[in-house]
Amino acid sequence: MTDTATARTTPSPGRRATAPSPGRARLRRGAIIASFLLPALVVLGALVVYPIVFTVIRSFYDQGGQNFAGWDNYVTMFTNDTTFTAIRNNIMWVIVAPASCTILGLIFAVLLEKLRWKTAFKLIIFMPMAISMLAAGVIFRGMFQESPNLGVVNAALVGINNIFSDSADYPGARPRDGFGIVEDRGVIASADTIAPGGTQDFPLTGIRATSLPDDAAQAIPAANASDTQITGTVFLDVLRGGGGTDGEIEPGKRGLPGIRVDAVAADGSIHGYATTGAGGDFVIDGLAVGAQYTVALPASNFDEGFQGVSWLSASFINGVVILSYIWIWAGFAMVMIASGLSAMDRSLQEASRIDGANEWQVFTRITAPLLSPVLIVVFVTLIINVLKIFDLVYVIPPGASKPAANVIAVEMWTVSFGGGANQGLGSALAILLLVLVLPSMIINVRRFREDRSR
């Protein structure tokens, strides 16, 4: 293992023969340290630390900022439901997102060495970082929207589903109320049973006249049924331009061809079926005389079918937002790790390959440990970044899912700037965020201690 300890400025031989006096030397050292560190410390102090102090103080005052409120804001914060959801969501983010990004970035960085088209690949994976978070949020919102006409993901799912299953002829059709037919779980059936020799018509609504198949003709009243038959007509009970009498077959109302009609016995078995003709008329034959049947139109005639998953609903929304984050930040991890890899001295790996180690061993025993400083930087940066996450969570969830997707930074924004202007509470939330960072700092502290002891 190479010695990665911080270099110490040990007094080395060969310095000026005439050493300056200790006092001057110390001053000189102080000046050097200051020259390196002061610009950063001044900028940070004035522009970052000062706002933090301001925020801490502000969190002890009330909404308007004039009256001292003590711990009130903190109490409000912790007794609030939304804050708990926010904290819980942030924890979920911290567990899932940084690890996924780092692992993906590592895999990409290592594997891309093998590609001829590595710059193209790097560019493709990195490109999301160049897109503003707002635009990225808008993209994912659009991709995962419910409607399979507009959202890519559902369009793909529905498309695949349609390859394997048939679509219904008359999606969305409903029975006309009050004419003896009812709808139950997709099946449109007669409300009462009828015996053979009887007729059951099905006046339906909810189908566009322009969506009817070409061969749909004027509805034909059913023929008289013999005592082993049940007849009827399935027709669209709507006249173009309105008017007409509900439930009656009139000129202008068209029959619905191609609908399967079942005669269902009391025990649920299907004793006969028919398919409607061009005028919507059907004849079910072969039935037992005197038996009672329910005449039913199976759901497969009307089923809208799989319309995709509601990705943006409260149940899945966090997954979608985290996915968008990974899409953007895996590129960050990849670029950082790739630059760490490229700065790495290859001779150790070559040596171990010569010694007979296989690729996996080379990776786990040599490459990964050498990469650990970069990995730590990436991982810690991502953890802190994720605790602050704001833009994506603000843009992607639709209103109904916002409470489920809430995170602390969004809550802070809503409370401070979203009209209520309760900066006292907002400041308390900001301090909460800072406090939550501390656990991840423990990793770093340990590392520094280790470094020192080398």
Partner 1 sequence: MSDLTLVRPKKTVAQRILGVFSSSIVNIVLLIVAVFWLVPTVGLFITSLRTAGDIAATGWWTVFTAPAQLTVENYTNLLSNTTITGSFLNTIVIAVPTTILVVMIGAIAAYGFAFLQFPGRDWLLIVVIILLAVPLQVALIPLARLFGAIGIFGSVLGVILFHTAFGLPFAIFLLRNFFTQVPTELLEAARIDGAGDWRIFFRVILPLGLPAIASLAIFQFLWTWNDMLVALIFTNSESQPLTVAIQSQLRQYGANLDVLSTGAFVSMIVPLIVFFAFQRYFVQALLAGSQK
Partner 2 sequence: MAHRRRQRVVFSLAAIAATGLVVSGCAGGGGGGGSSSAPSGEFAGQTLNVVAAWSGAEQKNFELVLKKFEDDTGAKVNYTSFGDNGPTYIQGQLEGGTPPNIALTGQPALLQSLAAQGDLIPVSDEVKKVVEANYSQSWIDLGSADDQLYGVWFKASNKSTMWYNSDIYDEAGATVPSDWDGFMEQLQLVQDSGFSGISVGADVGWPLTDWFENVYLRTAGGEMYDKLTNHEIPWTDPSVTRALDVMAQLWSSDVLQPGGAQRSFGDAVTEVFGADPKAGTVYEGDFVAGVITTDGNSVVGENALFYDFPAIDGSAPAVVGGGDVAIAFVDDAATMALMKYLASPESAEIWIPEGGLTSPNKAVDSSVYPDAISRQIAEALTSAETFRFDMSDLTPSAFGGTPGQGFWQEMISFYENPSDVAGTQQRLEAAAAAAY
Task: Spell out the residues 6+ positions from residue 168 whose beta carbon is closer than 8 angstroms to its own.
Answer: 300, 301, 302, 303, 304, 305
Task: Spell out the residues 6+ positions from residue 379 whose beta carbon is closer than 8 angstroms to its own.
Answer: 98, 99, 102
The Cα 181–Cα 202 span in angstroms is: 7
If binding is defined by CB under 8 A, does position 163 make contact with partner 1?
no
Task: Spell out the residues 6+ positions from residue 306 whose beta carbon is closer than 8 angstroms to its own.
Answer: 157, 158, 161, 165
The Cα 187–Cα 175 span in angstroms is: 10
- CB of residue 209 to partner 2, shortest distance in Å: 7
- CB of residue 257 to partner 2, shortest distance in Å: 17
Binding to partner 1, residues 332-351 (CB under 8 A): 332, 335-336, 339-340, 342-343
The Cα 234–Cα 273 span in angstroms is: 14
For 289-322, b where at least 16 C-beta lie within 10 A, e where not — what string? eeeebbbbbbebbbbeebebbebbeeebbbebbb
- CB of residue 9 to partner 2, shortest distance in Å: 24
- CB of residue 424 to partner 2, shortest distance in Å: 13
Binding to partner 2, residues 407-426 (CB under 8 A): 410, 414, 417-422
If binding is defined by CB under 8 A, does position 400 make contact with partner 2?
yes
Q: Tell me which of 1, 3, 178, 269 binds partner 1, using CB under 8 A.
A: 3
Residue 271's H or E segment, with its range, is: strand 270-275
Binding to partner 1, residues 15-54 (CB under 8 A): 15-16, 32-33, 35-37, 39-41, 43-44, 46-52, 54
Record the tokens describing residue 416, joined without a space.
């401070």
Would you say 291 or 384 has its CB closer to partner 1? Answer: 384
Beta-ladder partners of 254? 218
Q: Which does 41 bind (CB under 5 to 8 A by kind): partner 2, partner 1, none?
A: partner 1
- CB of residue 304 to partner 2, shortest distance in Å: 10
- CB of residue 453 to partner 1, shortest distance in Å: 12
Q: Which does 289 bind (CB under 5 to 8 A by kind): partner 2, partner 1, none?
A: none
Q: Tell me which of 136, 143, 207, 284 binds partner 2, using CB under 8 A.
A: 207
- Alpha-carbon torsion 337, 340, 346, 349, what sign? negative
- CB of residue 69 to partner 1, shortest distance in Å: 17
3-class SS of residue 194: strand
Would you say 265 or 377 has its CB closer to partner 1? Answer: 377
Would you say 148 or 279 has its CB closer to partner 2? Answer: 148
If binding is defined by CB under 8 A, does position 327 make contact with partner 1?
yes
